[in-house]
Chain A
Amino acid sequence: MSEAIVSARGIVKAFQVGDRSLEVLHGVALDVGRGELVGVMGASGAGKSTLIQILGLLEEPTAGEVLFEGRSAWKATVAERARLRNERIGFVFQFYHLLPELTAVENVVLPAMIGRSFGAWRAARPDLVARAEAALARFGLAERLKHRPAQLSGGERQRVAIARALFLDPPLIIADEPTGNLDSATGEKVLDLLLTERESRGLSMVLVTHDERLAARCHRVVTMADGRIAGDARTTTARAAAR
């Protein structure tokens, strides 16, 4: 395993609920290596989502440090952190989180639009749109390019979301129960697509799931309980991959 793309050190996260402080993570430490597929499992309320949000630089830890590619993420400026989220991290959410006013292609190119000035976008637009259309076509959505999210099925929406997450070739993908809102057959197809892309691009991925079979496809499974890492085990997949 190469060096970690993201490392969480002694992460504590507490939320203020009324007068009292509710601590949901108690000193969690986790390294995600480059090219590594880490599954995160645990009961509801165990702190899985909070942990990956902290790893995705969406949530600031109350204590502890997040190192992204060796640099302390929360010591960087707001703009630098936004740039990391834009270029270095791709998010896949359970509820797809596509912008309803945009077409499938526009949703996919949105990260490129966010990271560019007006002039840079104008210059790169034809190329970027062509790339987005090609990506969607590869995901079986060639007929759905101009469709809005409301005109797409759940599986199609999640495929658009995956295309968006991968569009800028970020080295880290954070997926929060990406099949949690899909029926099992569709979920299986979407997951195959996501994992195949990850594999072919050699990306790191942190995947929150309740599905044991899915977890078995990860290199490592981190089990969380009561805000702590209760288990961190390499799977047979990892061992097979290692052989």
Chain B
Amino acid sequence: MYRTFLAWRYLAARRTNVIGIVGIMVGVGALILILSIMTGFLLETKRSLRGTLSDLILEPIHVPDREGRTIPYDPEPALAVVRADPRVAAACAQLTWYGILGQSGRDAALANMRMADAQSGKLSGVKLVGIDVADEFAATNFRAALESTPRFAGSRVADLDDPFAPPPGYAPEGRMLPTCIVGEQLASAWNLRRGSEIEIVTGVPDPLTGDFPVNNRRYVVVGTFRSGENEMDLEKIYFERAELADFLSSERRFSQILVRLHDYARDGKAVRDELSAKLHAAGLVKFADGREVRTWEDFRRSLLGAIENERVLMAIMLSLVVVVAAFTIFAILSMMVTEKRRDIGILSALGATPGGVTSLFLWIAFLDALIGAVLGAVLGVLGALHIDRIERWLSSVLGVQIFNRNVYLFDHIPAVVNPLWVAVIVLGAFACTLLFAAIPAWRAGRLDPLEALRYE
């Protein structure tokens, strides 16, 4: 009984213990808070990594085989096979290619300056995406990207059901220009508005003749989209698929088929493998090994792996905070054992065993860890749940913007508290503290009581 009683007394009487408790509290709290924010960031990043990628992506390789047979240039046969699978909710064909963006009229001089500027060089290269609106809306998040409120300079399309319709009031002097929809960051960088005209230059090499004819065409911007995916919002321009195929003057009518499943988590990999086999059997993909049909995770495998890696590394690095806190307990207990030599002798004379003395000091460490870890866990969880409010308050007090929402494209600091993580961190702090405390506690138990009693 005396062990718990004396442990409380020593804990209450010695202020140095507060340092250990605060150390553990800060360590545990920081670990929970930062891991929660990291997890939130990673989830958001994962979400934005997926961006507008659909569940499955079918990209046939359009290269003739030895017998001269090619995969059909038209998407309909492949779409029919894909849509026949009951697990498929929707599928759409896309035609993608690259182009260089130019601008004419009033903004041409500015555009030329931009294109001449090495820093803005990337802005001139754009990805051209041809879509079938109804299919695209059914299979991807593109409708949501069109609906989302522009954060930068941008303007939504006038009619969501017919997004490529010319903008209201658009009345050119000559013939009507074909229309396009641009990413809002691209619109911001190029100062594009609804009704702005742009010139796109592209070329599609002919694999048979080796010719590389270059086309250019002017388009009118009918609106912007915001997917939340930085790269996409900065580089993509959407067209109707038929219009883009016409512009490219290419036989290929599609580059990829995007597939949305009813239950990706359950069926994703199975549908991928089965579709791959079926499409190969039907002569609609070149290989049967699945390299042309991929899940969105296959598509982003290296990036997703890097994210997971980052989280593990972060957890390991932050665990050092708890180790440092546990080391503080070690230092404090070592000091206490030296200071309490006489008490240890008295306890031995009064009938305490060496094991009892050892466990007394372990109790002190246990209570340090208990108070520190519980307070740390409470603070960490509360901090994670109210991180936005805390960030705003800190920003206003310090006069510095701590979290730049424009950089991350998040409206809030994402934080996800995982109860399992909290439990692991608290138990880890306990284990670490007791492990470090075991050394001075063991030393206390081995002290010669007489030597301790002579210590006056």
Residues of A within 8 A of B (CB): 53, 56, 58-59, 78-79, 82-87, 91, 93, 95, 97-102, 110-111, 113-118, 120-122, 164
| A47 CB, nearest partner CB in chain B, Å | 14
Contact A99 B349 (CB under 8 A): no
Can you list 28 contacts pairing A with B, beta carbon distance less than 8 Å?
A53-B450, A58-B349, A58-B449, A58-B450, A58-B453, A78-B353, A79-B353, A83-B351, A84-B351, A85-B348, A85-B349, A85-B351, A93-B453, A97-B342, A97-B453, A98-B346, A100-B343, A101-B13, A113-B1, A113-B2, A114-B351, A114-B352, A114-B356, A115-B351, A116-B1, A117-B1, A118-B1, A122-B1
Residues of B within 8 A of A (CB): 1-2, 4-6, 9-10, 13, 342-343, 345-354, 356, 449-450, 453, 456
Contact A82 B352 (CB under 8 A): yes
Q: Helix, strand, loop or mixed for chain A's interface?
A: helix
Cβ–Cβ < 8 Å partners of B346 in chain A: 97-99
Cβ–Cβ < 8 Å partners of B453 in chain A: 58, 93, 97
Identity of the chain B residue whose Cβ is nearest the Cβ of A53 in the assembled complex: B450
Cβ–Cβ < 8 Å partners of A101 in chain B: 6, 9-10, 13
Contact A110 B450 (CB under 8 A): no
Contact B456 A113 (CB under 8 A): no
CA distance A56 to B347 in the complex (A): 14
CA distance A104 to B10 in the complex (A): 16
Q: Given contacts A58-B348, A82-B353, A85-B349, is CB(A113)–CB(B5) below 8 Å?
A: yes
Identify the interface centre among A83, A87, A99, A120: most chain B CB within 10 Å of its CB. Answer: A99
Contact B350 A121 (CB under 8 A): no
- Pick the residue among A56, A97, A111 that contacts B345 (CB under 8 A): A97
| A68 CB, nearest partner CB in chain B, Å | 13
- Pick the residue among B343, B354, B449, B450 that contacts A99 (CB under 8 A): B343
Cβ–Cβ < 8 Å partners of B342 in chain A: 97
Cβ–Cβ < 8 Å partners of A85 in chain B: 348-351
Identity of the chain A residue whose Cβ is nearest the Cβ of B345 in the assembled complex: A97
Q: Given contacts A58-B450, A97-B342, is CB(A102)–CB(B349) below 8 Å?
A: no
Cβ–Cβ < 8 Å partners of A84 in chain B: 351
CA distance A122 to B354 in the complex (A): 23
CA distance A79 to B354 in the complex (A): 9
Cβ–Cβ < 8 Å partners of B356 in chain A: 82, 114
A-B residue pairs, 10 tightest by C-beta: A86-B351, A121-B1, A113-B2, A101-B9, A82-B353, A101-B13, A85-B351, A97-B346, A114-B351, A118-B1
Cβ–Cβ < 8 Å partners of B13 in chain A: 101
Q: Given contacts A110-B2, A116-B1, is CB(A86)–CB(B348) below 8 Å?
A: no
| A106 CB, nearest partner CB in chain B, Å | 8
| A158 CB, nearest partner CB in chain B, Å | 14
CA distance A121 to B5 in the complex (A): 11
CA distance A204 to B141 in the complex (A): 93
New A-B contacts (11) at CB < 8 Å, excluding given A84-B351, A121-B1: A58-B348, A79-B353, A85-B348, A91-B349, A97-B345, A101-B13, A102-B9, A110-B2, A113-B1, A114-B1, A164-B350
Cβ–Cβ < 8 Å partners of A120 in chain B: 1
| B257 CB, nearest partner CB in chain A, Å | 71
CA distance A113 to B7 in the complex (A): 13
Q: Given contacts A58-B449, A93-B453, A101-B10, is CB(A110)–CB(B350) below 8 Å?
A: yes
Cβ–Cβ < 8 Å partners of B343 in chain A: 99-100
| A137 CB, nearest partner CB in chain B, Å | 22
Identity of the chain A residue whose Cβ is nearest the Cβ of B352 in the assembled complex: A114
Contact B1 A78 (CB under 8 A): no
CA distance A84 to B352 in the complex (A): 11
Identity of the chain A residue whose Cβ is nearest the Cβ of B351 in the assembled complex: A86
| B339 CB, nearest partner CB in chain A, Å | 11
| B236 CB, nearest partner CB in chain A, Å | 70
| A141 CB, nearest partner CB in chain B, Å | 19
Contact B9 A56 (CB under 8 A): no
Cβ–Cβ < 8 Å partners of A115 in chain B: 351
Cβ–Cβ < 8 Å partners of A56 in chain B: 349
| B185 CB, nearest partner CB in chain A, Å | 66
Cβ–Cβ < 8 Å partners of A110 in chain B: 2, 350
CA distance A91 to B350 in the complex (A): 8
CA distance A91 to B346 in the complex (A): 9
CA distance A85 to B450 in the complex (A): 14
Contact A111 B354 (CB under 8 A): no
Contact B449 A114 (CB under 8 A): no
Cβ–Cβ < 8 Å partners of A113 in chain B: 1-2, 5
CA distance A53 to B354 in the complex (A): 17
| B350 CB, nearest partner CB in chain A, Å | 5
| A136 CB, nearest partner CB in chain B, Å | 17
CA distance A116 to B6 in the complex (A): 14
- Pick the residue among B4, B351, B450 that contacts A111 (CB under 8 A): B351
CA distance A98 to B347 in the complex (A): 10
| B321 CB, nearest partner CB in chain A, Å | 31
| A54 CB, nearest partner CB in chain B, Å | 10
Identity of the chain B residue whose Cβ is nearest the Cβ of A174 in the assembled complex: B349
